[in-house]
Amino acid sequence: MAASDVITKRTKWAEEIARDKGVVLSYQHLDTDDASAIAEAIGLSITLEYFSFGNGTIDSAAFPIIVASFPRCASLQKLKFWCNHIDNARVAALALVLPQCEALKELVLCNTSMGEEGAIALSLVLPSCRALRRLNLSRNDIGFRGAAALAKALEQCSKIDWVALGNCSVGDEGAVALTAALPLCLSLRELYLFNNDITDVGVKAIMKSVLAHKWLKVLYLDDNHLMSSEWRRACFSLSRHLNSTTPCAFSMLSIQLQDSFHVPRGLVRALLFDMWSIGRLRAIAALDVL
């Protein structure tokens, strides 16, 4: 690429960042020249707040160039990679710079080809991301080992209040590990575990743990393999807890139930009525089964 073209690209990205306070890339392929121009603009910016890259491709040599620029931007608050190929090696490279992004509040790595090794690498640095509040790793095959590693990390994260691990193949073992960490995750308010092959074994552990968590507000368990018998016992256990003199674990609870659960509608009505009547339920996402 000619030097004049490189200068033009750098000027373009610098102007866009100054105008929009962010970089949004979608359906693009980035080579090293693109990456160098973007990285230079990011490094010089004092206003950049977000970087988003989705539905695109990036050369192997270009990815580290962009990643290395993130710590140089003190104002970066949101970092999103979605629907692209960010494999374990690239996640590990990204993880190395995340603790240096001191203003980072939201991290999204959604549907990126990350596996359990990438999740483990990420878990090692999450406690050092002091400002991080939202974490979305949905639609990655992190498995139960990745989920267990993240659970340990979340115990040490003092500000994370929103976690999405939907469609991550965590299974019962991963769900047990995650929910076992809940009592120590004092800042966590919302947890999304949809479509994770969680069965009766997992939901029993989940309900036991969430009842001990006094801060969780939203729990999503839709599209899991829950049979009516175990779900019924878990719901009744939750209902009895809500009606007891014990302080309630939830200030707000949102459970999304779908027909695939085969939950008796009368049971759902009774549970929701119990929760609503004592003022513990503020959001209902189960209207489709009423």
One domain, residues 38 and 68: yes
One domain, residues 55 and 41: yes
pLDDT, tens digit, for every residue of 85-108? 999 999 999 999 999 999 999 999
pLDDT, tens digit, for every residue of 161-188? 999 999 999 999 999 999 888 888 989 9
**Residue 80: is it exposed, middle or buried by C-beta count within 10 angstroms (0-12/13-18/19+)?**
middle
One domain, residues 116 and 68: no
Residues 62, 38 contacting (CB under 8 angstroms): no
One domain, residues 141 and 163: yes
One domain, residues 123 and 66: no
One domain, residues 97 and 235: yes
One domain, residues 57 and 142: no
Residue 253, pLDDT score:
43
User: Rounded to whole angstroms, how far apart are CA atoms 131 and 164?
Assistant: 17
| Residue that is last in its domain, among 60, 76, 92 | 76
| Residue that is last in its domain, among 54, 76, 98 | 76
One domain, residues 138 and 250: yes
List the domain range (segments joined by +) for residue 22: 1-76
The low-confidence residues of the chain, meaning pLDDT below 70, are: 1-7, 10, 214, 226-290
One domain, residues 192 and 281: yes
| Residue that is last in its domain, among 47, 76, 105 | 76
Nearest to 138 by CA among 203, 216, 190, 193: 193
Say which amino acid occupies 142: I
Radius of gyration of the chain (CA): 21
One domain, residues 131 and 210: yes
Q: How many domains does the chain have?
A: 2
Q: Model's pTM, two decimal places?
A: 0.82
Reduce the DSSP state of residue 141 to 3 states and report it: strand
